[in-house]
Structure 1
Amino acid sequence: MSDVPIGREGRKGGADTFRTRTVALIVIIGILGFAGMLILAAFSPDLRSGRNGGAHALSNAATGFNGIVRLAKATGRNPIVVRNVHQLGTRDLLITTPDHGTQELSPVLKGRDNKPTLLVFPKWDVSLDRSHSGWVHVDALLPVNDPGRMLAPNVVFRLVRKRTSGRDLLFPTNGFDRTIRPAAPRVLQVITGQTPRRGEGLALIPLLTDRAGDIVLARYGSGPLYLLADPDLMSNAGITNLRQVEQTLAMLDWMNATNASSIAFDVTTNGFGRSSSPLKLAFTPPFLAATLALVAVLLLAGWHAVGRFGPIRPRTRATGFGKAVLVDNSAKLIRRAGRERQLGNRYVQVMRERAVAIFKIPARLKDAALDAHLDKMSAGRGQPFSELARAASGAADRVALIEAAQALYKWQKERQR
């Protein structure tokens, strides 16, 4: 198969559509676009702002907790928004705010038996505000059995909602700091008890209660696992004044570990975790160095292809035309197979058949009789045919075979004169 050169002769009276600069610009734009697409695909989960109206630390909605995160940062508490499940093992206070009580909390609670952890119960059923990004409409309260299943199936909590005047204070018990007394929200959600489903369940120790003694904040079990029944003590809508902010931050400080350096807010439960992928690893250290080296190699290869010298030479055909090429290729195959020495007998037989056809020899003559007849034709005119045939059949190498074949061919030509 041959190459067909394409030149510029076919274009007359106008500029060449595919100039070198045009093609180069198209290629560069394509490469940059493809690289940008790969980078965005790798890091798109990390670029999500979290302003989806959910009840988590990235949300600026009324039911979100971004306000307490910003206030903690402004007061030097070094808040950390945890997007990676590997950071859930921090020894500092970890706050988890699931949108529903049915969400799986096992990855969060695993390995945190002796580390302070606060679970904030959900409360409100909301819908997105289409006119304001990240805002929500508070439609109603969630069914009371939704937040009650926070630690299901091991235990189901019994919750009650109460209307308050907004000025009722919560009363600290069981060693909780008595100076911390945040105000109750208008609709207060409290825990009235628990129903263990597996075993006897852990002790539910009240820390903050309302005037009726129902639980707002509790320690669950003997470890530092805390349950906050009403999220409005921390939500953006709940921290509406300076006193409430101070009380909420003091409550978090009390629950935090000794010599704590920060407060961690988990958003992996809300679907904002960072996932590892081979594509992302290619753009992060230490694999970034290998990626840059590969890009450099590709650029050098492209530069080498663009900067080639001389005209492009069309490829030659693997198989030529004509009888001579066919014979030559056949000879190469026989030589590579190592069958040259076995051709002597076959060539002698071919010469016998040609002599019978050319000299009109009777077909009844075979082998020795045919050789004797051909020897008579050689009388007085060089070597007999039988001697030439024996030389060709007994050739030990290529040179001897060629010489014997040439002698037989010459014998035939001389008899045809």
Structure 2
Amino acid sequence: MGAMSRRGASGAFSPMAMIVIVLVGVVSFAGLGVLSAYAPELKKGDDGRAHALSRSSVGYAATVRLLQTSGRGALVGRGPLPASAEDGLLVLTPALGSGAVNLDDFDHPGPRLIVLPKWATMPDPNRKGWALATRIVNDKASLAVLPADLRKGLTLRAPPPEVGPLRLYRPDGQLFGLQPSVRAPRSLEGKGWTPVLKDQDGRMVLAMHTESQTYVLAEPDLLNTTALKTLEGARTAVALLDLIHAEDTPVVFDATLHGFARARSLLRLLLEPPLVGATLVLVALAVLAGLQAGVRFGPALKPRRAVALGKLALADNTAGLIRLAGREARMTPLYAQLIRASAARAIGAPRGMDDPALDAFLDRVSVTVGASSTFTALAERARAATASDMMQVARDLHLWKQELIRGRQ
């Protein structure tokens, strides 16, 4: 059991396991950073409220989809609008109780349409994305979403909650469209407003403020999902939007009033052009630094003194001077003589012998002990050695000396 425990413990911290753990941690951290940067855009927004991301009965996601599939430009705005949408129609669908819309927050020179809220709803607990219509809000609560200068002198007519068809007419009395089933259709009254569409009673349903390009729609059931239940209602909704925006310009449904604004952050800035290139370079440098720290040849070298001390410094300086003078090869014959004298003393060679006699004596001893070479041959190699092979000659001389010593012993 003890041996098995030791093997299990060593395997849990093997290099491969540590590499996998580090990679999983890095990838998880990077994924968390990216998701944090783009979290607002990843929200589907299908929460049952009255905005362009909601597919409930009071939402406008179906209208956006209808415009897109019919070949008309339509998009959901979560931040500053692109330059291509400056001349398009901006549709604002403020939430009930959110306060007055500040039109100065929207840098949009084109026409703007404010759709007044009508229904007080709550999410359906049994069906995600669905809404339960609780009641029709009063006229004051609906008009409270308009700016003060637009709300002044404007009244909203709210008839009893009866269901019936709503016919729309142009100001000249020409029939514009039909919404087969509308509950308690609403209309506007007030000075300073130009009627764009009227109901069968001659009251304004869609009006334009005379001093601005701001339109107000009293009846949201002409544009939301409820309006698209029938083919006639869908045609009327598309025709209504076509009436107040220029051809070949997009219709932008704002979602920032409902908390779906695209937030600006430093992390998001680093992940988008033009800084994404620099971010990738930094990531590559971090990866290379990690590889260099995790995989290196041998232990880290200890820092050395700028000026070495002792015998090592003397040897290094001497070797440097010899290398600088180009005298390395000339040292090999001298080293051979040094090895000869050391070997003669080690094996007890007779004293007083001259160099040729000593060389002959060492050669006879080499043959006797079975050395790999003789001194005469090694001395000849030392005299002919160059800077490239002098180290090999020195090793062979040292090996020959060791063979003689061991053979004599």
Contact kept? 2:94, 2:257, Cα under 8 Å: yes
SS in 1 for 2:176: coil
Q: How many angstroms apart in 1 are the aligned matches of 2:166 and 2:145?
A: 26
Structure 1, unaligned runs of 5 or more: 1-10, 195-202, 317-417
Match of 1:269?
A: 257
CA-to-aligned-CA distance 1:56-95 (integer Å, 9 cap, x gap): 1111011001111111111100211111134496211111
SS in 2 for 1:269: helix
Of residues 298, 301, 319, the one that matches 2:289 is 301
> Which aligned pairs between 1:4-403 and structure 2 lie closer than 5 A?
15-16=9-10, 17-87=12-82, 90-100=86-96, 102-107=98-103, 110-112=106-108, 115-154=110-149, 155-156=151-152, 157-162=154-159, 163-173=161-171, 178-183=175-180, 185-193=182-190, 203-257=192-246, 259-312=247-300
The letter of the residue matching 1:275 is A
Contact kept? 1:219, 1:225, Cα under 8 Å: yes
**What's the CA shift for 1:232?**
0.3
CA change 1:276–1:149 in 2 (3 A) is: same
SS in 1 for 2:38: helix
CA-to-aligned-CA distance 1:309-361 (integer Å, 9 cap, x gap): 12356789xxxxxxxxxxxxxxxxxxxxxxxxxxxxxxxxxxxxxxxxxxxxx
CA-to-aligned-CA distance 1:118-175 (integer Å, 9 cap, x gap): 11000100011122111111111123211112323333432222245522423321x6
Structure 2, unaligned runs of 5 or more: 305-409
Query: Which structure has the higher relative contact order (CA within 8 Å, separation 6+)?
Result: 1
CA change 1:34–1:65 in 2 (3 A) is: same
Structure ranking higher in helix proportion: 2
**What's the CA shift for 1:107?**
4.7
**What's the CA shift for 1:31?**
0.5
Contact kept? 1:176, 1:207, Cα under 8 Å: no
Match of 1:333?
A: none
The letter of the residue matching 1:64 is G
SS in 2 for 1:237: helix
Q: How many angstroms apart in 1 are the aligned matches of 2:254 and 2:7?
A: 68
**What's the CA shift for 1:12?**
5.1
Q: How many angstroms apart in 2 are the aligned matches of 1:251 and 1:135?
A: 26
Contact kept? 1:101, 1:148, Cα under 8 Å: no
Contact kept? 2:167, 2:175, Cα under 8 Å: no
Contact kept? 2:101, 2:147, Cα under 8 Å: no
SS in 1 for 2:113: strand
Contact kept? 1:171, 1:181, Cα under 8 Å: no
The letter of the residue matching 1:309 is F
CA change 1:301–1:111 in 2 (3 A) is: closer
The letter of the residue matching 2:21 is I
Identity %: 31
TM-score normalised by the chain length of structure 2: 0.66
Contact kept? 1:52, 1:59, Cα under 8 Å: yes
**What's the CA shift for 1:253?**
0.7
TM-score normalised by the chain length of structure 1: 0.65
**What's the CA shift for 1:215?**
2.0
Q: How many angstroms apart in 1 are the aligned matches of 2:7 and 2:216?
A: 82
Match of 2:348?
A: none
Contact kept? 1:42, 1:280, Cα under 8 Å: yes
